[in-house]
Structure 1
């Protein structure tokens, strides 16, 4: 399966999880300790356009409002998040998204394949966060998890040094692959 197809798999699982979040679960804590469900949804809505712009090699600065200012009481947040996830799938589903260089709003370009792998990881790990917080146990595509795991094995030490991930959580070598993925990011499966 190509990288372009993996984003569809990640988004399909994310859509299933988002569709099963009840309004009474927005205050539930997530394994991503800085976010409850509401704040994690805000995070995904806030940064989504920048991630999609990176696929098109366009710099899309984040909105002028802060991440905390996204109002989930206005409109249908679940539909907005689902539309954003579908946009992510469309943007990173294009082969050209993975070629050349791109930026996530910073001054230095990065290889597009590195940014694309980060986007896949972001979708998988935050979907897992939302699922855990809301009592869901989604089914994951094996090829997707293999790709994300291999990428995180390479990149998690740098992310930890930048303060993006917590210390790696030790899990058995034969633990389910999703557990090994999230453990690399400092989450306890």
Structure 2
């Protein structure tokens, strides 16, 4: 029986490499993975999932208006899809998650979603909220703070200081965000 998976973490935990690895595992066994990513994350080009260690994978881009179920059904006619894998799932909207549920429940195809849970203000993203509500399996991909504790927050840094106000979505990498444990996020300390 297919399930909806939500695998979340902070920045720099290896989510994109995990997406690429899972897609590769399916494809190596002769299976077809429908790989999707958000149009918002264009740091490395549009329609590409690129890990920080340099491995990349082409992906279909989705935006707020995209109907994922329609894309799945169109691609499934061309070639049977064995799974759906989504990177940057925090940017999904409620209707996207409902479409993923339909793929799982009506088409019996597993859907694996990878992304952040909370933003730099420690608030849930919309996609994270609905995945926490509906996912059959929720798993954390762990990484650590500079102190060695488990990182649970994505701190936004400007001029070497943590910022906790502003627009929720600002695309960036190591130059803008750092994973921190709760203690150092609350203290505002980004290093010893």
Same fold per superposition (TM over 0.5): no
Higher helix share: 1
Q: How does the TM-score come out when normalised to structure 2?
A: 0.29
Query: Whose Rg is larger?
Result: 2
Q: How does the TM-score come out when normalised to structure 1?
A: 0.29
Higher strand share: 2
